[in-house]
Every structure is written in structure tokens, then in C-alpha cells.
Structure 1
Amino acid sequence: MTEIILKDNVEQSKIDALLAFLKSSDIDVELRTVSSKKSTKTTKFSLSKGIWSDYSINSEELRDKAWKR
């Protein structure tokens, strides 16, 4: 099985034209529409990872300095 995934919202007329083209070439086509799931999971901001691990600053101080600019 080969899948073709259209990631952007495509006009229905263009989808119909693509299906007609594939069917005219004797390619078995099935159209499935799946709604994309957006992640609502939030993760805690951690200074222990990455470039801030060697500095003695907490996340609140970092946020305060960043938002005062």
C-alpha cells in the first residue's frame, strides 16, 4: 500500500481532479479525511537541560529578564 498525504487544506475541486486522474490510470483510489490532533499537553520549563544547566538562575528569574526587554 502506498499513501499520499495532503497536509494543507486543498480545494475539493482539486481533490476531485486528482482522484479522476488516478482512476483514469487504473489506480485504485480511496479518499479518507482525518482531522489533525493538536497537542494540548504542556511541559514544565526546565533550566536543568541545555545551555542553562551551568548557570545559577531559576526559571522565574529568566522569564522576568526576558519579558522586561
Structure 2
Amino acid sequence: MVKVDRTAFSVASLFDEPDEKAYWLSKTPYERLQALELMRQVVYGYTPASARLQRVLAVASFPPG
């Protein structure tokens, strides 16, 4: 039987004020951008090919006149 490590999490009320705003305001803008990039990689996946922006080339043909 697997035992749960009860020190690894805490239980809180949904009505408690979250302290996330204070946490992120205590971070530098660079640290916030690093965290944002990490979340982007987690959600969309990370591959070396997707680390760069793609170039898009579109040829538009217009009728004469």
C-alpha cells in the first residue's frame, strides 16, 4: 500500500485570498518572463525546431489594371 506524504501539500479554503499576486510582484520582470516561457513550453511542448520563430512567405498575385 502506498502512503501519502501529507507534508507535500496543504488544504486551503477557496474563499481565502490568494497570495499569488504578491509572489509575482516580488519577482523581477526577467524572472516573470522566464516563468512565462516555462509555462509556454509545458503547454505547447518544446522542441529545438520550435524555439525559433517561423518565417512565412506569401506570394500575392493581383489582377492587372
Q: TM-score, normalised by structure 2?
A: 0.31
User: Which of structures 1 and 2 has the larger relative contact order (alpha carbons within 8 angstroms, sep 6+)?
Assistant: 1
**How high is the TM-score relative to the length of structure 1?**
0.29
Task: Tell me which structure has the larger Cα radius of gyration.
Answer: 1
